[in-house]
Structure 1
Amino acid sequence: MRTTIVVCFLALVAFAAARPEKYTDRFDNVNVQEVLSNRRLLSAYILCALDKGKCTNEGRELKSHIKDALENNCENCTDKQRRGARTVIAHLINHEKGFWADLTAKYDPEHKYVVKYEQELTEIKKE
């Protein structure tokens, strides 16, 4: 009986360790539209992500997940983060081409993610 309990416990621990965790939703209340409409705020977040400026707690959290989110199609993002990412990408592609180029150069220098998500990016650009 003890062996069964131990095996079940170990299986539960292994399952919990193997399932991907979502990124923290602690900053999901950030108003993305407000940031995008305020050039000073947007610049601060972009400069943080590019390691060219100071970072707020929100900026550090965002920056720590950019590469992983690109690599796994935002698999660990909350729904709100996924929607926010689409909104931000659309804004950068359509209104901030310089920032978009800088971020792409830093986080996707080989353009493998831009190519991977080309269809989605094209759809976003049309929004």
Structure 2
Amino acid sequence: MRSWLICLCVLTVVVTCHSQAPNRYENFNADAIIQNDRILLAYYKCVMDKGPCTRDGKNFKRVLPETLATACGRCNPKQKTIVRKLLLGIRSKSEPRFLELLDKYNPDRSNRDALYAFLVTGN
């Protein structure tokens, strides 16, 4: 359970950072975040409104709805790679938590098929 929370937090951080600031998170280390349970849990709590947020956490939370709704449509290729890696990491840890995140930030499920296609193909 803890691992999926960490993955979910990482996903949130990556998705948010990459869709809002094209260059700010270019060198974001998704693997390091996925492997750090404490950091991942903190980001998860932030984006799910279950804990405090850092500045980055607030930014991620702000752009996450658009990122999920557009299947990372505004992301550059490097950002897409990072976002995809994080989303797949979270999904592999816990499908129910992954869906909970999607439902929170894209409740009308707009463009959900495109998001899943993005996860499969990276495009």
Question: How far apart are the structure 2 equivalents of 1:64 and 1:70?
Answer: 12
1:30 corresponding residue in structure 2: 28
Deviation sequence 1:8-32 (CA, Å, 0-9, x none): xxxxxxxxxxxxx962422333311
In 2, distance between residues paired with 1:54 and 1:105?
Answer: 21
Tell me which residue corresponds to 2:52: 54
Check 1:50–1:83 CA distance in 2 against 1; reply closer, same or farther (3 A cut): same
**Aligned residues between the structures:** 104
Q: Which structure exhibits the higher relative contact order, with contacts defined as CA atoms closer than 8 Å and separated by 6 or more residues?
A: 2
Given that 1:28 and 1:81 are in contact with CA atoms closer than 8 Å, whether structure 2 keeps it comes out as yes
Aligned to 2:93: 95
Q: Deviations over 1:78-116 (max 9, x none)?
A: 333211110011111111334312211201223333233
The residue type paired with residue 53 of structure 2 is C
Structure 1: where are the runs of 5+ without partners?
1-20
Aligned to 1:66: 64
Tell me how far apart the structure 2 counterparts of residues 76 and 123 of structure 1 sit (CA, whole Å). 16
Distance verdict in 2 for CA 1:22–1:72, change over 3 Å? same
Matching residue's letter, 2:75? C
Give the TM-score taking structure 2 as reference length. 0.68
Q: Is the 8 A contact 2:67 2:73 kept in 1?
A: yes
Percent identical residues:
26
Q: Is the radius of gyration larger for structure 1 or structure 2?
A: 1
Specify every segment of 5 or more residues in structure 2 that has no aligned partner in the other structure, as ranges: 1-18
Q: Report the AA paired with residue 59 of structure 1.
A: G
TM-score (norm 1): 0.66
Partner of 1:118: 116
Q: What is the RMSD of the two structures over their aligned residues, measured on CA atoms?
A: 2.5
Query: Take 1:120 and 1:66, find their aligned partners in 2: how far apart are those partners?
Result: 15
1:28–1:80 Cα contact (<8 Å) kept: yes
Match in the other structure for 2:39 = 41
Instruction: Choose 111-120 or 91-100, whichever is displaced more.
Output: 111-120
